[in-house]
Structure 1
């Protein structure tokens, strides 16, 4: 799956950002498969599978999945080629996931949580669109992978999943998705959320990428030279804030979820837009060479979805029931 699809060059996009101009949308869209650091990205394949199956479940468009079932399977089989050891965990190159300014490589939590979710959803969908063999295969793979994620990343002494072998910091993306998608036990979920609260990761803007910055040598040179070394460290992204709210709501920590919704709403109303990324001072990230893009559909969509999920959990609670995000 492409890293991105776009209609402008890097230089063109940079100049539009620098001079705060809206990027053109009339040029033909082209896929990009190789990252700026000449690596391939694994997370896109898992996200595509998750999104496609979620679309079918919500819309009832069974024909779409029936048509593309073999392609969805191939997307995951391609990922399997990057599981280099018996534990089944994916290995990636540096600068090769959404936090593509960070040289985190090998087994990375975020990428493997996405992989688990893709396998899990394929196992659930197989009885509807395929065979018992597919269901058994993907169910067993998901079960093995979940056990490997817990064995490799969970640190009981710290109370959260670490990022990878080198970095023992708490990265929001993998931890929050694991809670929201019910990969964690309730005790693990509560512990992670307690740690994030202790580390103040949702203040002033929800939610910070990691609780402790990566050493400078692991941050891309262009980010350091551009004055935004904290782009994927102490900066906050509203799409992470959205998953933070969903994780809190799932654990029925509604007062905390409401506080984060309030902070998100305040920032959006203040700026009149959803920005790409926010500095620790609560305003959009900006330097002489770089200005946060706005509006950002990715985060805007997640804010809307987080509010919807929060309201659904509250309503179910009022009705005396519980719900599952799966």
Structure 2
């Protein structure tokens, strides 16, 4: 936390010229579940885009151990992961237990691993992880989906809060049904969650007792609630495009592009006024590759779906 704070306070970019050092614990000294799932998803995505059998055979056992470690965080028969406070990307929030976002990532990692196992010569893993993915998908819907609210609840601890991360990923990756996807996107539109910059983290704030002390002292208690992150905006675009709502997706994409051009850089996070978040003790990091790369990805997905809509015969031919 101190290292990031000092770079922010003195308006300096964090160094990128030295090799990346793995960090196994968060700034709050907790173990990150979502980071482990994301690593597996990213590695398998890499393999699908390059011809690198050496990478696969070298790292497959380690990826499998990472997935098995995640399985150990399931404390009940439903197979859903349990986490401690401050242990996912929203690491300024003291949310714990069974969290929707983390379990969506876990489901995706299981799906990817089960789908690719036989392709890369590990057929013994295929059936097991595909079955586990199907179980976790059903349990996510059983545990988190609220027909009355029209979205996936963040957790039992925060049953009335819509977290954009888990809900948008559920749509983009096909965990949510088309009806669920439309309900979620309609709620987010009604609540203005893409205003003034796409997209806000949650539909409403967590109580101050759940926000880390350092965030409150720095004047940014809304860092992981009402503040907006362009990587979430990117998944918002992808979710809309894959739900057949291309006009809305294009509108969000244009607004994101306008913000990036205005600032000349992709910022980490934006405040309620639509400007990069800044206080006396904190200023938004820039550039942020996380959001920049996902903006490019959102542009690609939007273009693909726009092309399909313009050329339905070509789509049916494929």
Match of 2:234 in 1: 242
- How far apart, in 2, do the equivalents of 1:109 and 1:321 lie? 38
Shift of 1:27: 4.8
The answer for unaligned runs of 5 or more in structure 1 is: 1-9
Shift of 1:314: 1.0
- Structure 2 Cα separation of the partners of residues 53 and 31 of structure 1: 19
- 73, 90, 103: which one pairs with 1:82? 73
CA distance in 2 between partners of 1:106 and 1:199 (Å): 26
| Residue 316, structure 1, aligned to residue 308, structure 2 | yes
Do residues 60 (structure 1) and 54 (structure 2) align? no
SS of the aligned residue for 2:22 comes to: strand
Matches within 5 A, 1:159-178: 159-168=150-159, 169-178=161-170
Q: Deviations over 1:161-208 (max 9, x none)?
A: 000011020000000001000111111111111111111100110000
1:4 is aligned to none
Secondary structure of the 2:70 match is helix
1:256 is the counterpart of 2:244? no
Q: Bigger CA drift: 209-218 or 126-135?
A: 126-135
Partner Cα distance (1:22, 1:88) in 2: 41
Superposition TM-score, scaled by structure 1 size: 0.93
Aligned residues: 314
Residues of 1 paired with 2:277 and 2:28: CA distance?
Answer: 22
| Matches of 2:80 and 2:95, distance apart in 1 | 15
* SS of residue paired to 1:127: coil
- In structure 2, list runs of 5 or more residues that go unmatched: none
In the alignment, which of 201, 210, 217 is matched to residue 218 of structure 1? 210
Please tell me whether the aligned partners of residues 13 and 285 of structure 2 are also in contact (alpha carbons under 8 angstroms). Answer: no
Judge which range, 22-31 or 166-175, deviates more: 22-31
SS in 2 for 1:31: coil
The 5 Å alignment of 1:278-289 reads: 278-289=270-281
Q: CA RMSD in A?
A: 1.4
Q: Is residue 2:128 matched to residue 1:137?
A: yes
Instruction: State the TM-score, normalizing by the size of structure 2.
Output: 0.95
Asked whether the equivalents of residues 313 and 322 of structure 1 are also in contact (C-alpha less than 8 Å), the reply is no
